[in-house]
């Protein structure tokens, strides 16, 4: 997974795209047709000695609305679904346990947990999108432990 000791986590909360789907390296316009099976995601490398996967899950659930089906704000379609792409059996188990806890509290019903398939980087014009378009940045934070 790259640097020794580092792991990857992949979450779909409606902001970026690139995981899953039947089309290899699809252009963004094709993803927007809602026919490729891809999801807009963020993939990050993290050091589990510094931040736990459980804490990343807490941040994922705290920073978007996982109660709407295939929608985040004005964006709709399956590419905007709330999804955790588990990259290992351990991530899958932790994500399912977290979701079960939240569902018992009647907080979230829509997120899915899917096995990680492949990741393709968004096209260059989507990289640093906010900077390139003079927009405010996306606000993502980890909740206090």
Which residues participate in catalysis according to the annotation? Answer: 15
Q: Which two tokens mark 122? A: 């968004």
Residue 22 contacts residue 37 (beta carbons within 8 Å): yes
Q: Which two tokens mark 36? A: 């490729």
Residue 22 contacts residue 28 (beta carbons within 8 Å): no
Residue 72 contacts residue 14 (beta carbons within 8 Å): yes
Distance CA 142, CA 144 (A): 6
Considering Cα of 29, then 32, then 33, then 37, what sign does the dihedral take?
positive
Buried-state track 30-60, b at ≥16 Cβ within 10 A, e below 16: ebbeeebebbbbbbeeeeeeeeebebbbbbb
């Amino acid at each position: 997974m790259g640097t020794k000791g580092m792991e990857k986590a992949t979450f779909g909360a409606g902001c970026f795209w690139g995981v899953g789907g039947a089309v290899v390296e699809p252009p963004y316009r094709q993803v927007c047709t809602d026919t490729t099976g891809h999801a807009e995601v963020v993939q990050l490398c993290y050091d589990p000695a510094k931040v736990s996967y459980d804490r990343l899950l807490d941040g994922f659930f705290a920073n978007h609305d996982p109660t709407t089906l295939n929608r985040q704000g004005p964006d709709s379609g399956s590419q905007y679904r709330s999804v955790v792409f588990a990259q290992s059996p351990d991530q899958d188990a932790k994500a399912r346990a977290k979701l079960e806890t939240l569902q018992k509290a009647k907080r979230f019903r829509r997120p899915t947990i899917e096995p990680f398939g492949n990741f393709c980087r968004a096209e260059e014009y989507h990289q640093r999108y906010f900077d390139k378009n003079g927009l405010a940045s996306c606000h993502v934070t980890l909740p206090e432990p």
